[in-house]
Every structure is written in C-alpha cells, then in structure tokens.
Amino acid sequence: QAGASIINTASIWGRVAEARFGAYVASKHAIIGLTKTWAKELGSRGIRVNAVCPGWVRTEASMRSLGRMAEQGAVSEAALLEDIVGAQALPGLMEPADMAGTYLFLASDLAANITGQSLGVDRGEVPW
C-alpha cells in the first residue's frame, strides 16, 4: 500500500567484484538491479524500494567466507581479517545489531524521499 517500504539486502560485493565468489557477487548485483527496477515500477503507488549493502558483519556465514578466502589465498584468517579491517575508514567488524538502525531509517518516514538506492554500510571500505 502507499507509504510502504521494501528493503532488500545486497552486499558491498553488489558494487565490486571478488575473485572466486562469482555466484555470490552476481546475486548481489542482481538485488541492486531489482531494487532499482521495483523502485520505478512501484513508485507511482507510493511504495519505496531500497537496498542495504552491508560490509563485513560478524556472522557465521561471513566468518565461513573469511575462512574460505584465507584458505584459497594461502594466508591466515587473522592476516586476511587485518587486510579487510585495514581497508576500512572505521576499522573493525560490525555486529549484526549494528545494521538495525539503517533498516529502521529506511523503513521510517524520515526516508520518505529515498527510493531506488543501494546504501552502503561498510565502515568506509568501498567508495560509493
């Protein structure tokens, strides 16, 4: 209904590419494209559609990915994590609860004029 907000979850990898993660990267690029398409299709009905693109969040899935990336790159997980954190303007890994405010903002009336956007929440890792 009018005033509704759809919030998709993509990833910073929806804006960049990462070797050996083609299917994941492609799916995140697709979510951003779908977000833009739905924003155009649903805007006339007063429905906003945006995507959140998290960076590294400490979840079981991201830590498994970190392990696979370290193994494939023949580096330790600690060294890889140090490289990731070193690429961020605000170093450190986010926790899942750190993402809540972004979703609440996009769902609120404060974001009434925002649609078709992919919002990076990545501690400054990827230039948007």
Would residue 24 show up in a list of annotated catalytic residues for this protein? yes
In sequence order, which residues have a C-beta less than 8 Å from that of residue 17 and are 6 or more positions away?
Answer: 25
CA neighbor of 111 nearest in space, from 48, 60, 55: 48
Catalytically annotated residue among 6, 16, 21, 24: 24
Q: Is the dihedral of CA 100, 103, 106, 109 positive or negative?
A: negative
> Which residues carry out catalysis?
24
